[in-house]
Each structure stands twice: as structure tokens, then as C-alpha cells.
Chains A and B, each alone.
Chain A
Amino acid sequence: MRSLAYFIVFLLICITGCKDFLQEENLSYLDEIDFYKTSEDAENAINAIYNLLDDQGAYGASYWRVKGLASDEGLYEGNFSDIATLANASYGSSNSEIKNVWSSFYAVAYASNIVIEKVPSIEMDSARKVVVLAEAKFFRGLAYMELQRLFNEVPLMLDAPFSDSETYLMPQSNKASIQQQVVTDLEHAVTSLPLSSAWGRPNSYAAAALLSRMYFLNQDYAQAKKWAMLVINSTAYSLESDVNSLFKNLNDVNNETIFAITRSFIIILMKIYYLHLWVGQEIIQSHPLF
């Protein structure tokens, strides 16, 4: 009987002392709780947006296909139905090119929201922090401007949820409130971004030019002029004398380039067409315990 008593005590100790044994900690990947604490984290977070802009779904490919084929700028002679239907306007709601544009710009908006939400509490150089937040607002403004122009009334998500319990469904917002948010974000960018910036990063004039474009396409010409004059009067940019030179590859960066999405030459060279992941995956999948 005593051994039974000892055993039950052993079990009770097991169950109560078990909590430690039953906790898990991911040592291979960072999660949100460990991250967004240092100035490097802030830079890594803002850099993510640049990578996302060049994605195949955004300015990497699909954006140009959707806009170029829907208008008269592009012609498609290939075989893929999801691209062909863009040209003859017979696409359905599950067209993959359109889906890619939607998801890629929302990815940019999400990455921007993360910076806007997390960076303010990071201890870092205050001047740099202002610029980082302004860049994020610039890109959020850009993303929603594009989304609104392509899809009209879209959900205006300004939070960055990190867990299932923080997520919720959002309704569509109307055109006016989306554009109002874009204006707020871009105006903040105009005042807080530096007048000149490193290659590939936006500066104050880029934000002004973007605002001008948005107002112009919205037929608010007074506002469009106001912001355009800001850029013109700065004399930081000027028009090329030969219009034809604008369409030449070798002249892709010139006096008229206010902001550009860059693509790396080096990455294209590194593309090899079988995957090392094949073998890595074999290990993981052949593991008998999983």
C-alpha cells in the first residue's frame, strides 16, 4: 500500500511539475515577441518593404501585366489563360495575376503597418527613427493608392496582427476614406522624409510627386498642381531633352527619375533551376517520427 501511495505522489508531482516539461520554445526562428527591439530590427523591418515591392506579384511582373494588358500598352501572344484574359477582359474573380497584385500590395501595406506600430517604441537614433517611420508611411500610402485605383473600395487595414486572436474581419472602406488615409500618410512623408536619399529609397519629393499623381488622376487639379509645383520648384529634377531617350535601357535612371523600384542584377544570375531544397526536404520528410 505504501508503494501505491508513493506512486500517486510521484504522479501528482509529475502533473504539477510538468508545466516546464510541456513548454515549447522556438530556437530556430525569431518571433514577434523577440523582435522589434533594436535599431537593427527597425532597419530590417523597413528593408522588408523594398524586397516585397520587387516581388513577382507587385512591380516585379504582375502589376505591369494587369495594367499593361487591360489598357492598350501591352500585347500578349503567349499561352497562359490567366494572362490572356487580362487582355480580353474575360477574367474571373480567381485570376491569379490579379490575385498576385492584390496580395502583394497588401503584403507591402502589412509590412508598413508593422513598422508604424513597432518602431516608435524602439530606442534608436531619433532622426533615423523619423525617417524610417516616414518611409513606412510613404509605402503604405503608395500601396493603398494603387489598391484603390485598381480595386476601388478595399478594406483599409491599418493594424498589424501577429496572432490568431488579434485578427478580425474588415469591411470595405469607401473611396473617400481610403484616399484620405493616403493623403495623411503621404503628407507626413513629405514633411518627414529627407530632401535627398540613398538610391532606391524615397525622398520628400517622391512623396509629393505621388500625391500630385493621385490628385491628378482623381481630377483634383488644384491640389495636383500644388504638389507638383513643390517638386518642380525644387529644381532637384529636370526634364530630359530627348523624349525618345526615356525608353532606352541604358538611360533607365536619368534626371526625370524621382523614385524607382530597383531590381538586382546579381540575383538573376544566381538562379539555378533544380533546388537544393529538394534534398533538404527529403530529410525532413523521411523522418519516421513526423
Chain B
Amino acid sequence: MPQEAFSVDFQTFTGYQNTYKLPTLLDGSGFAAYQNDVGTNEGNDPVYTNPNNFGKGYDWQHQLYRKAALIQNYRINLNVSNNNTSFSMLGSYLDQSGIVNHSGLKRYNLQARLASRPNDRMSFNSSMVLARSESNSVLTDDPNGYGVVTGAYLFSPLLGSSDILNYHVDNDGLPMNDNEGRSLDLLSSHKILNPIALSQYASSFSTISRLFWSSRISYDITDRLSFYSQLGVDGIFNEDFSYFGSVLQPELSVGGVGMNAKQQSFNWFNESYLSYQFIQGSNVLKAKIGAEMQGTLVELLSGQSRGFDNEKLGYYALGSGATKTIGSSLDEVQWFAAMANLDYHLKSTYDINLILRTDASSRFGGDFVFLPALGFNMDLKAAGVLSGEGWISGANFYAGAGRVGNQQIPSYLRFSQLDQSVFYLGNTELKSFVPTRIASDQLQMEISNQFDLGGDFVVRNGFMGSLEYYNRTTTNAFIEMPMPYYKGVASLVTNSGVIRNAGIEMTAGFKNQIGKFDWNVNANIAFNSGKVISEGSSQILYGSNVYGMNDWLIFDEGEAIGAIYGFEINGMVTTAGTDIATLDGEVAKVGTVSYKDQNEDGLIDHSDRVVLGSVTPDLVYGFSTKVSSYGFDLSLLFQGVAGNEIVNFNKVILNNINGTGNISEEAYENMWSATNQQGDLPISTPNDGKIVDQSLVENGSYLRLKYFSIGYNLPKILLEKIKVQGINIFISGNNIFTLTKYSGMNPDVSLFNSEAQNMGADFGGYPSSKLWSIGFKIGL
């Protein structure tokens, strides 16, 4: 326990962020010229007599993203301790504007920690977190392409901020109307909204408040027997408010939609055990027996209201809407494990550890599964294998094997589920119930068998490192198995997959002083190979809907996890009417893409798809270094991944050269035409370009300078004068530099929070940003 001590430090920084990379789109005159080209390709007269008249037009991206989004952060840290108690507290406040206009985040955080040893037998630790975040967000990651990022790609630069919908204009910039006087939408099947208006009038505000508390107590009953218990509770309160203004739906007389949803979740956790220790010379035997249990409860209440006469109040006044809908739900899960643990430390050299545990979860009907594990560790120097006199001063070797269980699936899958709909038969409103899910009554906890082998070492000059090989096989992985449709439901969750993850993890570090420089360097690299050993009965296509494309991932025997499934490209069609098979069965047109007919049946259909890559990386690595000297310190943190592919769905919009929306400059230059036969972008595509093929799959490897900082510590002489322990001034940057071949804005992407269905898809996601900041830290 530390002596009496008291310290306070205060840190603040302020900075600005901007976008890391934006695609270059066509400007006003470029877009008009492009529209002309598309028209003439179809045999029509050019629409615009002089495209250059439009000049630069409206730069949607420029208007949507802030030049410099400010960020400020304040943090205060307090530590107090005396002979047997220490207490620390941390408070922080963050105010961050988003790089997209009308978005931002505020975060408040208070943490406290108490550690105490009231007497020789007892020790007590407690920690608490009180946190709240409030964020204003804009619509991004929308799978239907309605979000602000995709809207900025598509919206015509010939229009301006007061134009809500995307339509054709004529030479004078006036809307072109159809025969019935309605404006001709540029995207006829799909109304894209002005992204600026969307960011302003489709507002969404959400808050998360959290109260977390945990305590542990350890009590020595005798000098060999002790009791330990830990209890934690976590309450999380989410609120989501959104309002979609009626100005965004000009031709519907619905009058705005407001939504207010609240989710309350409560999680508690307890671990208790008795521990017995028996020492004989340099041999120590420790036995533990105990239990772990956890419960989680989530309640959701949401209300939606439409048709507001007066939209001033929005989502706090849902009662004034004309049509109201309410929903609510409850989700509970409980989990219990009993365990016994035996640890034998022999001659201070060998360590053998045996764990016997049995787990059960309410998600599986309370059936217990047995999960044993065995580990072995050898101190090589103490064992005499290593002399310790040489270069390597210490090393350990370890090996282990065991089983772990996983219960992470939605609750209640063991029951069938009936969903209600309300519909009209003629003019009569009727209710109906139909099963949308049948019971997975055979479902069991997923069990993985794992073994690992490794070692770590310390080298004389301050080097250290470790190496580990692991192999984990899950024999009954949860799979959403597709069902034949005559069963009434499309799929059923079962335990029928077998997957294996194997890999090597290495770390290396160096900590020493060389001359006047203090070095602290760390590196880590992890290779992983995840493969499907068996997929149940037949290959499973998954990958949820992105812009009308689904089933773009495949789970199949022998393939990597997260395998991308799509068409391979065979080049461009240069001569018409040949016997090239096409996706729509029509004669191949010159200037279109031809796909490889994999099964050579003369048709191009979904059975001609192949694996085009995998969204999971083969390799993840990081490198950090801190060097300090003469009061200056420099820190760098690099992070990288390699061997993964990203499906860049944004290209379906940016490269869609059929005149219906704006495209990137690069796409216009690559447009295939009789005069530009080197171009590789087709002038027309079936399905509106919504096909997952090779052109969307890009190498997602990247190396990024995630964090760097240069700081200066004021010299002691100055500090003593002001009676302060330390002052540090620093400049830092986040994501300043990224090395990648990926053309999109977010190499570290995943749509929808990296769920398995959508991992590796980039479509209109909130853009990655760079941050520069300056700050200081004072310690008292």
C-alpha cells in the first residue's frame, strides 16, 4: 500500500478534424457534358447546348462536410492514498463536432476507484462509472442509399440547396417536367433527397446514460483459506429521438414523422469462490471452488407519430400527431457457471493448472455443459534449460488446452414466434397472426475446443517478446440454416457449422535508455486463418441488403470466413451480337461488361458466382514507440491490417454511368466509348448497376499512423518555482497518415457495427476523419 500521497492532474486539448479522403465528383459543367454523352449514346440529341454555362455548380460534398470540426476535451484526475486506502477519481468532458454538418457528440464521464486494506485479512476494491453521451447524428449507412453521404454522391450539381428532390433541369436550369407536369426525377425508381436538407430536417438525437458499479472483497478466513466475491451492476439507458420533417416529402401530405424510443438495460454479475492454499517449501498448491452468475434484462419502448400540423415541437410532442404507433419488448437472459480450479506450482519452476467448470444459460433451457481446461507453464531458467547468464535472461514456455462455451445468439430462439399484421381486405381492417420463426428447440450452447502453445522471453538489453500459436475449433457453430420454403419459414438457427480459427501471435518490446534517450517500443503482429470446415448441409448465402444487393457473402466448406461471393469479370464487350452470355439473356451490347460463365451453360445467373475474396484479415499488426529526451517526448502508434477485401458498394453509385445521378470524375474518364476503348466502365448495366462483381471487391489492407504526439515537459527548475509537479505541453494527431490502395473513404470500415452479415461492406458510412490537436497537462 502506498504511503500518504495526494496528486491531481488536469489535462485538456483542443483540435479540429477534417475528412481524410473524399472522391472527386463531376462539377456542374462536367455533369452537363456527361448527361449529353449518355443521351447521344442512346441516340438522342444532347440536352444542353452549352454545358460550360453551368460552371462549377453546387459542390454537395464541400457543403456537407465541415472544413474544420472542432473538438475539445477536459480531464481531471485525482489520487489520494494513505497507509491502507487509496482512492482515485477521474472526470472528463468531451465536446466533438462531427465532420458532417449538424452532427456532434458530447460525452461526460466520472469514474471513481477505491482500494482498501482495513486489516491484514481483508481487502476491498470498488469502482464506479457514471457516464453520459449525447449525440446529434445524421442519416448515414442507410442500406437503401437515402443517407447524406450517398446523397452527396448522387445529387445533381446543377441543383441547389433549396431543391429537395433530385430532378432533371434544362438549359436554363429550370425543372424538366413530364407530360403531366411532374418534375422528371433523375432517379426514377428511387427518390434521393438533398443531403443538406436531409442533414438539417431529418434530425436524430440520442443519449446513452450509464451507471456501472462493481465491488470485490477478499477475506482471509485462515492463513490458508480465503473467500473472494465480486459483484457488479450495470445500468444503461438509451434514448433515441428522431424527426423527419415534412419539407422532405414534398408530394406527400403526411406532415412529418417523429419517433421517440427508450431502452433500459440492467446487467448484474457475481463471481464468488473459496480458495485454499497449501505451501510446502517451494511447492504451492491452490484449490478454488466457486460459482459465477450473470443476468441481463433489456426493456424497449418506442413510439412513433405522423402527421403533425405544426412541426415546431417535433419528437417531444408525439401526442399531437395524427397517427400513432407504439411498440415495446423485453429481453432477458441469465447465465450460471460452477467451477473448481486446481493450481500446482512445483519448485517455483513448473505450473500446472486445471479448471473444471460447467456452464448453463437460459437461452438453452438451462442445460449444463462441461468445460474443462488444462494449462502448463515452465520457467525455463528455474528449470535449468536456460542458464540466464547469456543473452536471454529469462523465459517461459506454456501450453494449454480447453473448451469454452458461447451463448451469443438472440434470446428465445427455442420458441416459435408469431408476428402480427394489420391490413385491409377491401375497406375492412383485419388483424392476422402468422409464424415468422419456428422453434429451434434443439439449440445448444456453442462449444469451442482450443489449444495453444507459446513462450515469452526477456533479453538483457531491455528486449522482451512472446510467441503463441493457437487453434480453436467450434464444432457446433450457430448457423442460420436456410430451409426449404415448404417448411413455411426461410431459415432456422441451428448448431450445424464447424469452423476453425488458427493463428500465431507475436509481440516484441524494448524498454531501455540509450545515451540520453529513453526508449519504449512495442510491436505486435497476429496472423489468423479462419475457415469453414463444414457448413451443415449446403452452402449458405448471407450478407444483408445493401442498396438492393444481398446474399453477397457465402459460408461454404473450405472457404475462409467472410468469403465474398460475386461475378468474375471477363472484360468489356467490344463487338455486338456475339454469343456472349449475359445476365438479362439479351444480346450483349457493345460497351457493357461481360461476366465469366463459370459453369459454361450459356447463361449468366447466380450459379456463375464465385468467391472473390474475404472480408476477414489474414494479418493484424501494430507498432508503438515512445522516445523521450531532454524533456521532449515523441509517441507514435501505427496500426495495420492486411489480407482482407472490402466490398466497396459506393462504387455502384460513383461508377454508374447511365445518367441518373452524379458520378466521380474518374468514372467519367473511364467510361467506355467507341473513342475510349480502354475504358473499363460500362455505359449501361443491368439491375441499375446493382450487381456484386469483381469491380466492387478491393484490397482493404492499410497501415495507419493512428496516433502521434510530440510533447515537452517543463524543466524541474521552473516547476519548483510554481510548486507544481509537472507541466506537459503537447501536439497530437489521430489518423494523420494512412497508406492504402483502397479507394473508398473508410478503409477501417464496416457497415452496421461489424455484425457478421455486413462486415466488410462500405456504403455511405460516416467518413473517417483526421484530427490535429494541441493541449497541455498539469500535475499537482
Contacts and interface: CB of A to CB of B under 8 A. Distances in A.
Interface of A: 3-4, 7-8, 11, 14-15, 18-19, 21-24, 26-33, 35, 41, 43-45, 47-48, 50-52, 54, 79-82, 84-85, 87-95, 102-103, 106-107, 109-111, 113-114, 154-155, 157, 160-165, 167, 169-170, 198-201, 262, 264-267, 272-274, 276, 278-280, 282-290
B448 interface: no
B433 to A, nearest CB: 4
Contact of A91 (B236, B257, B362, B605): B605
A160 B338 CA distance: 40
A18 B257 CA distance: 46
Interface in B446-465: none
Contact of B362 (A23, A51, A110, A279): A23
Contact of B261 (A14, A31, A279): A279
Considering the complex of A and B, which 4 residue pairs feature the smallest CB-CB distances, nearest first?
A92-B605, A90-B585, A22-B366, A110-B488
Contact of B438 (A163, A264, A272): A163
A268 B387 CA distance: 82
Contact of B336 (A21, A165, A285): A21
Nearest to A6: B274
B439 interface: yes
Contacts of A162: 416, 435, 438-439
Given A272-B254, A289-B265, 6 more contacts: A87-B585, A92-B606, A106-B485, A162-B435, A165-B441, A280-B259
Contacts of B329: 28-29
B442 A164 contact: yes
Contact of A287 (B236, B420, B440, B494): B236
Contacts of A199: 425-426, 428
Contact of A81 (B257, B306, B416, B585): B585
B687 interface: yes
A117 to B, nearest CB: 12
Interface of B: 139, 142, 144, 146, 191, 202, 204, 206, 208, 221, 225, 227, 234, 236, 238, 240-242, 244, 249, 252, 254, 257, 259, 261, 263, 265, 267, 274, 276, 289-291, 293, 296, 298, 300, 302, 304, 306, 327-336, 338, 360-363, 365-366, 368, 408, 411-412, 414-421, 423-428, 430-435, 438-443, 483-488, 490, 492, 494, 582-586, 603, 605-607, 686-688, 752-753, 755
Given A85-B585, A283-B263, A288-B236, A50 B438 contact: no
Contacts of A11: 289-291, 338
Contacts of B276: 4
Given A19-B366, A273-B191, A279-B259, A29 B418 contact: yes
Contacts of A88: 584-586
Nearest to A263: B424
B25 to A, nearest CB: 23
Nearest to A95: B605
Given A35-B418, A287-B236, A44 B433 contact: yes
A272 B252 CA distance: 9
12 contacts: A7-B289, A35-B433, A48-B421, A89-B585, A94-B607, A107-B485, A161-B488, A264-B426, A278-B142, A283-B206, A283-B261, A287-B238
Given A79-B686, A95-B605, A264-B423, A274 B441 contact: no
Contact of B687 (A18, A80, A282): A80
Contacts of A111: 434, 488
Given A160-B488, A283-B238, A24 B333 contact: yes
Nearest to B548: A80
Nearest to A14: B291
Nearest to B252: A272
Contacts of B416: 31-32, 162-163
Contacts of A264: 423-427
Given A44-B433, A89-B585, A91-B585, A161 B438 contact: yes
A258 to B, nearest CB: 16
A164 B494 contact: yes
A286 to B, nearest CB: 7
A164 B411 CA distance: 16
